Amino acid sequence: MGDQPLVTLKGITKSFGAVQSLRGVDLTLAPGEVLGLVGDNGAGKSTLMKVLAGAVQHDAGQITIDGREVRFASPADARRERIGIVYQDLALCDTLDVASNLFLGREPRKGPFIDRRAMHEKAAETLSDLHVRVKSTYQEIGHLSGGQRQAVAIARAVSFKPRVLILDEPTAALAVAEVRQVLAMIKDVAAQGVGVILITHRLQDLFEVCDRITVMYEGRSVEDEPVSDLDIERLVAMITRSGSEHTEEVA
C-alpha cells in the first residue's frame, strides 16, 4: 500500500435544487487499495462517484489526486486523470454495437474516419481477455442480456488502464461465476497498483476483496474502518445507524 493517498476527497457537497444529496463527504484512497463504499439507498454513494468521475460537478469541497488539487468540468477531464468508472446504469447506448460502446468517445481513427476494422478487432481482443461472453462485437448492446451488458461496461472501464477504478454495483446483474470473475479482476488490478472503489449491496463481497470500508449516511461520510476490524453484524449496524455506540460517535 502506498504512503501518499492517490485520491483525497474533502468536504464534498452537492445540491440538486432543494435536495442536498452530499452534505460534506471525506474519503481517501491509496494506490493498490480496495475501498468499499457502503450506505443505505439515498446515502449519496452514486452521486459522490459521479463527482469523482466528472459526470456531476460538486458545489464545494476539494478533490486531490496525487497531492494535486483538481476540478473536473466534464467526464473527459476525469478520464484524462485516468479515473475509470462503471456506472450503476452502465451508461451504454442500446442502438450502438458492442465495439462502439466499448470505444465510445475514443474510437480509433484512420484519417477523419473511424477505423471500424481495428476497433472491432481490438474490442474482440479486450473482451476475450476479460472472458466476456458475447457472440460478436457487431451485436447491438440492446440485444444483450443484463449480465453481458454489465460485463461490457466493466471491460470498458478496465480497458482505459485506469489509476482509479470505480465500480458502482458492478455485480448486480451477474451470475455466480461471473461475480467470482469480477472479484478476481478487482484483486488483480489492485495488485497492479490501481486504487479501486467498490459500491455494492453484497456485503460478503466487501469482506472478500476490500481493505477498508467507508460508510455514508444521509450525504455524509460517517465511518471509516479497516475491514479486519469489522464483522458483518457491525457493518450492518454501521449502515443502518442502529447500534447505540455509533450514534454517539457521530453526534
Size of the site for other proteins (CB under 8 A): 48
Which of 59, 69, 188, 249 is the binder for other proteins (CB under 8 A)?
188
For residue 179, state whether it binds other proteins (rule: CB under 8 A).
no
**Nearest distance from C-beta of residue 251 to other proteins, angstroms:** 37
Span near other proteins by CB under 8 A; candidates 12-20, 27-35, 111-119, 228-236: 111-119
Q: β-strands 83-86, 164-168: how paired? A: parallel
What are 26's three cell numbers? 471525506
Instruction: Report the chain's C-alpha Rg in angstroms.
Output: 18
For residue 105, state whether it binds other proteins (rule: CB under 8 A).
yes
Question: Strand pairing partners for 84?
Answer: 165
Span near other proteins by CB under 8 A; candidates 13-21, 26-34, 95-103, 240-248: 95-103
For residue 99, state whether it binds other proteins (rule: CB under 8 A).
yes
Identify the H or E element spanning 196.
strand 195-199
Which of 34, 52, 127, 210 is the binder for other proteins (CB under 8 A)?
127
User: 224 with 212: CB under 8 angstroms?
Assistant: yes
Residue 202's nearest CA partner among 186, 218, 220 is 186
For residue 143, state whether it binds other proteins (rule: CB under 8 A).
no
Which of 1, 2, 60, 129 is the binder for other proteins (CB under 8 A)?
129
Q: Is 148 exposed, middle or buried (0-12, 13-18, 19+ CB in 10 A)?
A: buried
Which of 3, 17, 112, 177 is the binder for other proteins (CB under 8 A)?
112
For residue 125, state whether it binds other proteins (rule: CB under 8 A).
yes
For residue 72, state whether it binds other proteins (rule: CB under 8 A).
no
Question: Strand pairing partners for 10?
Answer: 62
d(CA 27, CA 144): 36
d(CA 94, CA 142): 4
Q: Residue 46 CB: number of other CB atoms within 10 A? A: 21
**Nearest distance from C-beta of residue 150 to other proteins, angstroms:** 14
Span near other proteins by CB under 8 A; candidates 26-34, 60-68, 124-132, 169-177: 124-132
**Cβ contacts of residue 191 below 8 Å, gap of 6+?**
32
Point out which residues bind other proteins (CB under 8 A): 53, 55, 74-76, 79, 87, 90-96, 99-100, 104-107, 109, 112-114, 117, 120-121, 123-125, 127-138, 142, 158, 184-185, 188-189
